[in-house]
Structure 1
């Protein structure tokens, strides 16, 4: 698993009724983007150091492209 600052870390809920957690990766520990990551969680508005497990995946941040001007 590798990430960039601005990507999203999503952790699936452990049980059927559990909500997933989503947070923005705000800082990398390693230059190559390997875990752990500092994540700003949307549900708590806190930043924590995360070692993601097998229940986590990265959603890559894609910069929005603007329409060409005429």
Structure 2
């Protein structure tokens, strides 16, 4: 793995369901770009020394986006094999509550102009006590489930287009 100051680094959690961390490389002590790297993490702002493993991806495109000299255009010499890619998709959940009924809309931005959404509803029984958090959880969970179904349907369409015949994605 090779990196330079200004590159974005993304590390997956070693635990199922754990957080994915990302940051910016602030120091690269070796001239050849080899680890370790000093990284400022975006979630905490702290800087740590990182020895990246197989669960880590370095994104030099972030350096070019920041205008670091020598990163625009094609570089001379042989290209290194692609190490992978890292993306961040933000999901926004909007919850509206009115008269014992809750509606949630989950929206994901999966590109510069593409957005997918799922809507979920929850309604309490007239005899049940008013506990808004429960309605929020139910409506949001249902919205996220519908959003997940929509993402899988889009992926299935994309796979079908890529392979040239009808494909099925397991859900």
TM-score range, shorter chain: 0.7 to 0.9
TM-score scaled by structure 1?
Answer: 0.82
Pair member with larger Rg: 2
Residue aligning to 1:38: 38
Ranges in structure 1 where 5+ consecutive residues have no aligned partner: 66-70
Q: Which runs of 4+ in 1 moved over 3 A?
A: none
| Larger helix share, 1 or 2 | 2
Q: Displacement, 1:63? A: 3.1
Residue aligning to 2:87: none
Q: How many residue pairs were aligned? A: 65
Residue aligning to 1:54: 54
Residue aligning to 2:121: none
Ranges in structure 2 where 5+ consecutive residues have no aligned partner: 68-171
Q: Report which structure shows greater RCO (CA 8 Å, sep ≥6).
A: 1
CA RMSD of aligned residues (A): 1.6
The 2-side partners of 1:14 and 1:6 are apart by 25
Which of 55, 62, 65 aligns to 1:63? It is 65
The 1-side partners of 2:66 and 2:47 are apart by 25
Q: Displacement, 1:11? A: 0.3
TM-score scaled by structure 2?
Answer: 0.36
Q: Is 1:25 aligned to 2:63, yes or no?
A: no
